[in-house]
Structure 1
Amino acid sequence: MIDVFATATVFARRLRRTALLVTELGDRGRWTVVFSSLERLAMHAGECDSLSTTGDDFMELVPEGVAAMLDPDDEHRFPVFSKVLPVDSVARMWAGKSRD
């Protein structure tokens, strides 16, 4: 799924100033949201300005320590942890393996 995300076009809410909306969730970390379609973005945020880019380019905008959630309101939501954990840790997590 992460390979698909990296090359897919994703959509996010564009704020009036150059910024990325990040939510602090205490022990659950810092998150931003991204959407697989404009329709899903509109269902989440209502009418708003938006940006579109590849998932890989979007993650370049995300600061260290912030994870992204793809389609947070849907059953198929998908967390992207690349700015929170090393890539090998994420791969082991998705494979269901612990660190040796």
Structure 2
Amino acid sequence: MSEREKWAALRAMRLYFQRPENPGFLVSETPEGGPLVAVFTTVEGLARFAGACSWASTTAEDLVGLLPEGVRALVDPLGERPFLLDAGVLSEAEVQQEGEGRG
């Protein structure tokens, strides 16, 4: 997979998260990472983290647009390669895609 394809896949990646009773996100305040929302690349990953729960899903791009300002998503916190996702990461992906399109 080319770098361009990887960045496009990141933007379109479907992410799953625990749905609270009221619309919004379950935000955890962390001492070093600030406010975070745990999200997962599979429903099974969410179940390992939260057990049986109500859930929702959306694309990574839409999720970043829906998060409150200053809140980042921690993708697959129990996985082998967790990573932080925010508007900066997706902006970097867009710049990377544009740069490769010119080459």
* TM-based fold match above 0.5: yes
User: Structure 2: which amino acid aligns with 1:20?
Assistant: F
Identify the match of residue 62 of structure 2 among 47, 57, 62: 57
Query: Which protein is richer in helix relative to its size?
Result: 2
1:79: how far off? Answer: 0.9
Residue ranges of structure 1 left out of the alignment (5+ in a row): 91-100
Q: For the Cα contact (< 8 Å) 2:36–2:73, is it kept in 1?
A: yes
Alignment length (residue pairs): 89
- Matches of 1:88 and 1:17 in 2, distance apart? 30
Instruction: Note if 1:33 corresponds to 2:38.
Output: yes
User: Structure 1: which amino acid aligns with 2:58?
Assistant: T
User: Structure 2: which amino acid aligns with 1:18?
Assistant: P
Percent pairwise identity: 31
1:3: how far off? Answer: 3.8
1:14: how far off? Answer: 0.8
Q: Name the residue aligned to 2:49.
A: 44
Q: For the Cα contact (< 8 Å) 2:15–2:60, is it kept in 1?
A: yes
| TM-score normalised by length of structure 1 | 0.75
Give the structure with higher Rg (CA): 2
Q: For the Cα contact (< 8 Å) 1:2–1:80, is it kept in 2?
A: no
RMSD: 2.3
SS at match of 2:36: strand
- Matches of 1:87 and 1:69 in 2, distance apart? 14
| TM-score normalised by length of structure 2 | 0.73
Alpha-carbon spacing, 1:87–1:42, altered in 2? closer, same or farther (3 Å): closer
